[in-house]
Chain A
Amino acid sequence: MKLLTKYSLANILVMVAIFIASSLVLFKFTQIILIREMKADLAGIETKVIDYVNLHNSFPAGYLTDEAFISFEKTGINKTERKTVLIQMFSKRENKMHNFMKLDFPLWFGGSWNKISIAKPLEGMHHLSRALITISISTIFIIILISLLLNGLLLRRLWKPFYESMDVMRNFKLGENESLVFPSTSTEEFVFMNDSLTLATAKAKHDYILLKEFTENASHEMQTPLSIIRSKLDMIIQEKELSLKQSELAREAYSSIKKLTNLNYSLLLLAKIENQQFDNKHEISLKEKVEEKIDPVREFWLSNQITVEQLVNESSIKISPELLDILLNNLFSNASNHNTPSGKISIELKQNKFTISNSGSPIPLDEKKLFTRFYKTGVNSNHNGLGLAIIRQISRVSAVHTMYKYANQRHSFILTW
């Protein structure tokens, strides 16, 4: 529910309550006043009747006034009590049962007590209450209607800067250089909100840049000790009379150093891609590039009895040559290294679509986590789990769409652009 709707609803409810209450109070007061008036009226008629009787020594014939009924009744020695009551009587004028106010009072006349009743219709009150209810209800309806209309109009007008700011925020991405531009507004709250958002995003960006710089510096710093270790290993294996055991240890150390070097290289690469350090996009013939890449890996496939089907057609792509190189390397390495012995790889290049599929583990990969950093399927995996993250990152900056599919025991990566 929108904020304004919530507010209007509460507002309308309270207003309805106040109107109903005030109408009731108004009705009650008017009723009291009317009844008092009526009583005074009846008392006036009473005086007139008494005066008439005293003057003429007889009861007035018929109606004393137009709207008042009057009746006389001999009660003998019984003296009636003077009282005012509300009764229902048949109104000849309106031809239906109606509310009347009746005053009974005693009068000594002709040697006996008489009960004299005067009745006046309460028509006025009936009309009044009806008028009050009609006015109240119509006012409430008008208020609700106006609130709803205002709600719609205000929502669009007053809240427009808010929704615009939210749109800007939704498109905000860390790692993009463009600064956020919020719509200008004269509403103080929105100005405050925009200022806060600008401040928060600027801080997030700054922290992000620091983090990236840290990654890049850390990777650079790591390269030197890695070089030293590698060179020392290169020296160790030159030693004469190296035992089999020592050779084995050195080989394992080499293997780990290679992994660490790759990991470091990958992290640095990710940082650089995010830093947009590869913005030299060119139109490249992908066919040529793919064939060029297949060549060196062919021997690796051959020695692992991996058969390759390739269907490479002409297609061009606009991308940084360096990134394309890395992208293809990673896709090929991926298809090779996660393959089964005597497995299969198929490479298909069509207009604006590149598909590489390989046989592998019979379990489909987790599509949600697949492209995240350090995603690994096995515990003892030989890989750093950054290959696919790099593929995704390169695709992102090169406007290429990547998709993973598992079908017919084949893992496929599909690139479209």
Chain B
Amino acid sequence: MRLLLIEDETELSRSICQYLERDNFICDASYSYRDAMERIEDYNYECILLDITLPGGNGLNILRRLKEQGKSDAVLIISARDSLNDKLNGLNLGADDYLTKPFHLPELSARIAAILRRKLFEGQIRIVTDDFTLDLHEKMVRGKKGYIDLTRKEYDLLLYFTANKNKVVTKEAIVEHLWGDHIDMNDNYDFIYTHIKNLRKKLVQSSCRDYIKAVYGMGYKFNLEPEENTIEKE
């Protein structure tokens, strides 16, 4: 799948591309307003990551141009501006999501995955692995022996992991994704351990492999062979 990243900070742009390319995305980087405008005329992308403050112009104009042309490229705004007005502005112009800098790359990954699922398959999809199937419409997980009874948090956690498979994800990023980032937890993330433990237990009990590996002092990694994971339309 092809992505366009419109971001003037080359270093940030490089990290994002490297991270996403591991998920088999083809990532085009554009560093300026004019270059970005040319690219959206010439190509179609599955998803565009758009910074608002760009040298040479406002990123929102690129969004307007896309909508004028009736293009269906999904747009995720990544911006340092975090006021409600900025967000509403972007979303009203037709952006699919809005992510405030600084963000965790796994969070970006999860947001892109969610947008693509919505955009390409209208949410009617299943994530299928050898051992389980995640039905996004029903918000259910089916294992080899039938439905696996997961709590809301465990389901969200599993979905988050599938968007960041084979990557190390920090506890901090998990907490921010599942609980929101504004409550300052004093760097005390032990409480997510219970959720991880329960999810692992439930998956293993349904004869799944033990996908989740703890990375010492850091976080967790969800191991999945690349060819094992497919997205199916219902």
Contact surface of A with B, Cβ cutoff 8 Å:
220, 223-224, 226-232, 234-235, 237-238, 244, 247-248, 250-251, 254-255, 257-258, 261-262, 265, 268, 272, 277, 296-297, 299-300, 302-304, 322, 325-326, 329, 332-333, 336-337, 382-383, 387
Contact = CB atoms under 8 A, between A and B. Distances in A.
Given A244-B217, A251-B217, A303-B191, A228 B9 contact: yes
Contacts of B106: 234
A227 B217 contact: no
B8 to A, nearest CB: 9
B53 to A, nearest CB: 9
A326 B22 CA distance: 36
Given A227-B12, A227-B80, A238-B167, 5 more contacts: A237-B168, A237-B170, A250-B218, A329-B184, A336-B186
B216 interface: yes
Classify the interface of chain A: helix, strand, loop or mixed: helix
Contact of B186 (A254, A272, A337): A337
A255 B217 CA distance: 12
B55 to A, nearest CB: 13
Given A228-B9, A234-B15, A234-B105, A254 B215 contact: no
Contacts of A248: 217
Contacts of B172: 254, 258
Q: How large is the interface on B (under 10, 10 to 19, 20 to 34, 35 or more residues)?
A: 35 or more
Interface of B: 9, 11-12, 15-16, 18-19, 22, 80-84, 101-106, 167-168, 170, 172-173, 179-180, 182-188, 190-191, 194, 215-219
A300 B171 CA distance: 13
B103 to A, nearest CB: 7
B9 A227 contact: yes
A212 B11 CA distance: 29
Nearest to B22: A238
Nearest to B182: A329
B103 A227 contact: yes
A333 B104 contact: no
Contact of A232 (B15, B179, B187, B218): B15
Contacts of A237: 168, 170, 215, 218-219
Contacts of B11: 228, 231-232
A224 B19 contact: no
B101 A223 contact: yes
Nearest to A269: B82
A387 B184 CA distance: 10
9 contacts: A231-B15, A237-B170, A254-B172, A258-B172, A265-B82, A296-B180, A297-B183, A325-B182, A337-B186
A303 B194 contact: yes
Given A300-B185, A303-B191, A228 B12 contact: yes
